[in-house]
Structures are given as C-alpha cells and as structure tokens.
Amino acid sequence: MSDILLISILSGAVLSGTPLLYATLSEMLSERTGVINLGLEGIMLIGAVVGFVTTVKTGNHALGIIAAAFAGALFNMIFAFMVITRKANQLASGLALMFCGVGLSALIGAPFIGSRIEGLGAIAIPLLSDIPFLGRVFFNYDILVYLAIPTAVVIWWFLFKTRWGLSLRAVGENPTAAYAAGKNPYLLQYQVLFIAGLLGGIAGAHLSLALAHTWAEWMTAGRGFFAVALVIFAKWHPLRAIAGALLFGGAISLQLQMQAQGVPVSSFLLDMLPYVLSLVVLALWGGARRSAVPGSLGRVFQGTE
C-alpha cells in the first residue's frame, strides 16, 4: 500500500512539476539577464490556448506544442520591446503583459471551450517502464516530461559552459560593463527573452495538452507567479530548479494524497510553504552582501534601475 502511495506521490510530483520546471527555467533565463518578467502567467496562458486550439484544429500534438512555444515567444517580444528598447519599468510592463495574456487567451479560447482532443499521450519507454517500481515513476510519461530535465541541463550547460551564456550573465550582472566589453546587451536580452517565451509557451501547452486536456479561462491559476518564487528558491540555478519544481510539484501532489488518505492537514497552510521558503532563501542569500541575485536584477529590486 505505501509502495503505491509513494509511486503516486512521485508521479504526481513529476506531472505537476513539469510545467513548473519549464516556467521556472523561462523566468530564470530572463532574470539571469537582468529582466524580471511578471507576465509569465500571461505567456503560459497564451501557450496553453494556442497549443490547445492548434491541436483541436489539426489533431497533431507536435504542431500544438510548437505553435504554443512560438506563440509564447512572440508574445514575450511585446514585453521585450517595452523593457529593452523603450526602457519601461519591468514590473509594470510584466503585469500589463499578464493582463493582456489573460484577455487575449480568453478571446482566442472562447469558441473552443468544451472541445475534445486526444490528450498528449504517455509514452512508455519499452523495457525501462517495466521495471517494477522505478518504471512507473520514471518511464511512463508524455514527451514534455521526458524533455523537461534535459532542457534544464541544456540550459545549465549554455549558461555556464558557453561564451553566449557568459555574456548573458554578464549583462545580467552589469550591462554597462558588458557593453564596454564589446557585447550588445540589447541583442542578447532579446534573444534570451525569445527563448524564455518559448519555454513559457511550452509550460502552458503542457497544462492544456497533457494535464487538463481542455481549455478554461485563466487555467494557469497563478502558476506563473509561483515560478517567480521558485526561481528565487532555486537561487537562479537551473539544476536546483529541477529539485525545486519536483519538490513543490510534490507538495501539491502530497497534499492531494493526504486528503485522499484522510489525513487532517490544511491544504492552504501547505500551499504557503513554497512562498515562505522562497522568502527564507532570499533572506539568507539575497541580501546585499552575499547575493545570489543577478546584479542588475538586484538593482531593479532596489529601485535604482
């Protein structure tokens, strides 16, 4: 019995954690280059609706995911234009982007509520998924789940092992210095925000195509903001983000399991945990001295940017 319980919690963690991971990676890339995007919620919604609508119309999930990714990226370009070229305030622009995403996705999705799609199916990896315990937990998911951790690793590699990643981080620490060193901070930021948009769109697509198999207004229910907290919790590091996403995905799943088992626990108090923990992490590592916060991001927070 407890075996099944464990499997269930872990697989629930993986399922909830996947969109969280993509979203966290998206926000992390933005913030690493010095831009905080509170509009992630909007990007995810655009991804969710475009992915769903495309799949309804074409019957092809791959197309749906790709469309969702590009829709997210293009949508984020609005934000990029605002904060990079027009130098508008990042927080306000992000919130405006979120509102836009909520409205636009509602408009696009309205005729498709109640439509049916074949959900993004689970792909059982042959042989591996037959391993008694591990098989169920690790090898029986949809494609986006399988790609999630490799994506995080790829991003880690790019961030820390390539010159492009170095430039990106340099811009995030101090754009003026980066500029003086011959980089073009604006171009880099645009590139990064494009990729961040792709990831955000994929996160949304997973919600509608793999999890819910439907579209509903504002179906992200705050997951975009959750990701902002997770980025802090992960101290802006992609590999720690994997742990964070699994952990908090697991918390959601654990909570549901505990209910189903009849354990008296308040889901609300449990839900607070990620935010409180992020605050703790920030307090310990976000302060002026031993800061894990990317430099120019910190200046946005201080209000001097």
Partner 1 sequence: MKKTVCLTLKGMVFLTIAALALGAGLPATAQGQEKLKVGIIHIGSINDAGYNQAHSEGVQVMKKNLPNVEVIQAENIPEGADAERVMENMIKQGAKLIIPASFGYLDPALKIAKKYPDVKFVHPGGYKRAPNLGTYWASTPEAFYLAGIAAGRTTKTNKAGYVVALPISFFLANINAFHLGARSVNPNFETRVVFMGTFLDAPKEAIAANALLDMGVDVLGVIVDSPITVVQAAERRGAFSVGYHYLGAQKFAPKGWITGIAFTWGELYTRFAKAVMDGSWKSEAVFGNLASDYLTIAPFGSVVPADAVKLVNSTRQEFLAGKKDVFQGPLKDNRGVERVKAGESFPLQGIGKMDWLVEGVIGQPK
Partner 2 sequence: MDKGLGIKGMFRHKWVAAIIRFCGLMGIAMAVFALVLLIFGQNPLRAYADIFKATLGTAYGFSEVLVKMIPLVLTALAVAIPSRIWLINVGGEGQLFIGALFATWGALQFNGLSIWLLLPLISFLGFLGGGLWALISGFLRIKGWASETISTLLMNYVAILLVSFFVFGPWKDPESANYPQSAPFPDAAILPTFFGSRVHLGAVLAIAGLLLFYFVMSRTRWGLEMRAMGINQEGARRTGIPTYRYILLLMFIGGGMAGLAGMGEVSAIHGQLRPSLSPGLGYTGFLISWITMGSPLGIIAAAFLISIITAGGDILQMTHRIPAAAIHILMSLVLFVVLARSTGKRGKR
| Contact positions vs partner 2 (CB under 8 A) | 38, 78, 81-82, 86-89, 91-93, 95-100, 102-104, 106-107, 110, 217-218, 222, 225-226, 228-229, 232, 266, 268-269, 271-272, 275-276, 278-279, 282-284, 286-289, 293, 298, 300-304
Amino acid at 11: S
Alpha-carbon dihedral sign for residues 228, 234, 240, 242: negative
Report which of 70, 43, 55 is spatially closest to residue 210, judged by C-alpha positions. Answer: 55
Print burial letters for 32-64: b (CB count within 10 Å at least 16), e (below 16). bbbbbbbbbbbbbbbbbbbbbbbbeeeeebeeb
Candidates 116, 163, 289, 290: give the one binding partner 1 (CB under 8 A): 116
Candidates 86, 114, 288, 289: give the one binding partner 1 (CB under 8 A): 114
Long-range contacts of 263-272 (CB under 8 A, 24+ apart): none
Retrieve residue 229's tokens: 């907290």
Q: Is 143 a binder of partner 1 (CB under 8 A)?
A: no
Report which of 282, 272, 234 is spatially closest to residue 251, judged by C-alpha positions. Answer: 272
Give the shortest CB-298-to-partner 1 separation in angstroms: 27
Residue closer to partner 2 by CB (options 131, 269) is 269
Give the shortest CB-7-to-partner 1 separation in angstroms: 6
**Residues binding partner 1: what is the number (CB under 8 A)?**
38
Query: For partner 1, what does the binding mask look like between residues 255 and 284, x meaning CB under 8 A?
Result: -xx-xxxxxx--xx----------------
Q: Is 125 a binder of partner 1 (CB under 8 A)?
A: no
Residue 10, SS3 per DSSP: helix
Candidates 62, 92, 107, 113: give the one binding partner 1 (CB under 8 A): 113
Residue closer to partner 1 by CB (options 159, 252) is 252
- For residues 82 and 88, give the distance between their C-alpha atoms in angstroms, rounded to a whole number: 6
Instruction: Render 136-156 in DSSP notation, one character per residue.
Output: HHHSEE-HHHHHHHHHHHHHH
Binding site for partner 1 (CB under 8 A): 4-5, 7-9, 11-12, 15-16, 19, 106, 110, 113-114, 116, 119, 207-208, 211-214, 216-217, 219, 221, 252-253, 256-257, 259-264, 267-268
